[in-house]
A and B are shown apart, each in its own frame.
Chain A
Amino acid sequence: MAKVVSLAVLLGLWALIAWLAQSPLLPSPMSVGEMIVADTRSGELPFQMACTLARVAAAFAIAFTLGVAGGYAMGRSKLIDRYADPWLVVLLNLPALVIIIFAYIWIGLNETAAIVAVALNKLPNVIVVTREGARSLDPALDDMAQAFRFTWQSRLRNVVLPQLAPYLAAVSRSGLSIIWKIVLVVELLGRPNGVGFVLGSSFSLFDMTRILSYAISFVALMLAIETFLVQPLERRTNRWRRNAA
């Protein structure tokens, strides 16, 4: 309820200031809404959002898979950790923009480069958090699983993943928000479509109505994914904690 009121107040303020300013640099909520409806009807907005969303999903999947595998290996093996840690530190400290430029120059101005650049930006964070989780795995439960001859699949599903779940949930949450922001930059710099591309070309035309329409639509989409996909998943994995003593 508080959320709704707060958002309504924000919308009201925006409308008021836009009405006072009467400037094309701050279009009213009405005109932005009209453009969202019109571009949705024409299929333009859904198309651009789908392009961006596909890149977010691909980059997320790659960063998540590699990062969880790498982080798990580093958390479980001191040897691997010792050798891989310097690489990780380098990757952690490379600015997003540098990685994006390198990818475009070395791989080319194509889809692969775009997705690799985004995934590489997210990867070190996934590794660090997963490594933390793997380090905190309870050796007592490992012994239990071994004594009762759990298969490796059963170990993974019933012993390891539930312990990693809070870490993976944290990674997904922060991952989604970091990744989609970087995807917009990647699109702005070197893609012919996607929300980032639209924002870039509207910027050169000073088309504030379009910028606001696309930005707001995409933020809303990401919030929806967070609320209706990530959070319920998190709740499900935490169900057992509900009545824990």
Chain B
Amino acid sequence: MNDVRTAGAATPLEIRIDSKTYVSAEGKPVEVIRDLRLQLDAFSFGALIGPSGCGKTTILHIAAGLDPNFIGERRIPGRGRLGMVFQEPRLLPWRTVADNLRLVLSPDESLDKLDGLIGTLGLGAHLSHYPGELSLGLARRVAIARAFAVRPDFLLLDEPFVSLDVAVAARLREELTTLTQRERVTTLLVTHDLNDAIQLADKLFFLSTRPASVAVEMALPPPRGARSKATIDEIAGEVGARVPAYMPDVART
């Protein structure tokens, strides 16, 4: 692995994975990713789309620098301050919501700094609760707040809307658009939901099946986050035409 950190705020995110192999339960090596290339402009929003089990979480962990066991290279944007929302909330169950947020701040910062964020995500009434007392939707919102609390210039989101009820997910999408635009964060969202991707992103990356690589890359017309139903349907139609191989599959889920 080769880890390059470029100076300057407006650097793009670049991930190159020549090969990523896991060892299966039987002890055999399984190549899950081969020749994958991802490039995302600074301050833009990319969405990584593919069916379950194709390697999306693996790519995100590599992008985050959590998994050094791959052949390739990663360049991360800006100072490389990372905010991450894992596939599960991953809060510390023995710390309150307030403490879970406080822990990612530097020691000289206070929670007051997060008042706006806490308000936007509707966490004000839950600060003294332990994660075990929260619904999954609330816990996910805490995880999102935590990712933003570090003022990231680089945000990774792993299926943040899965198993949330429709209304909560819709609100979270809006909040995500507002926050990423206001704070100018380079964001990579992993999803298997085409509609989420089309609504939120500047650029779509469709993954092929195993070994995964980027099958089709598609830039979407601005502005992101505020696309009408008609625009979304139109883009979905275009996707269907350009990514026929497994698109019907993805669209169904």
Contact = CB atoms under 8 A, between A and B. Distances in A.
Contacts of B95: 158, 162, 240
B150 A148 contact: yes
B130 interface: yes
Contact of A141 (B65, B90, B133, B150): B90
A244 B86 contact: no
A75 to B, nearest CB: 19
A162 B92 contact: yes
A147 B82 contact: yes
Interface string A26-40: 000000000000000
B133 A158 contact: no
Contact of A159 (B84, B92, B132, B133): B92
A159 B66 CA distance: 17
Given A244-B132, A244-B133, A245-B133, A148 B94 contact: no
A167 to B, nearest CB: 14
Nearest to B105: A148
Contacts of A159: 92
Interface in A1-26: none
Interface residues of B, number: 20
A240 B104 CA distance: 20
B86 A144 contact: yes
Given A240-B93, A243-B130, A143 B61 contact: yes
Interface string A224-245: 0000000000000100111111
Interface residues of A, number: 20
Contacts of B65: 146-147
Contacts of B86: 140, 143-144, 147
Interface in B72-107: 82, 84, 86, 88, 90, 92-95, 103-104
A154 interface: yes
A150 interface: yes
A245 B136 CA distance: 11
Interface of A: 140-141, 143-144, 146-150, 154, 158-159, 162, 237, 240-245
Given A240-B130, A245-B133, 5 more contacts: A140-B88, A144-B90, A146-B65, A244-B130, A244-B133
21 contacts: A140-B90, A141-B90, A141-B92, A143-B61, A143-B66, A144-B84, A144-B90, A147-B66, A147-B82, A147-B84, A148-B103, A148-B104, A148-B146, A150-B103, A150-B104, A154-B103, A158-B103, A162-B94, A240-B95, A241-B132, A244-B93
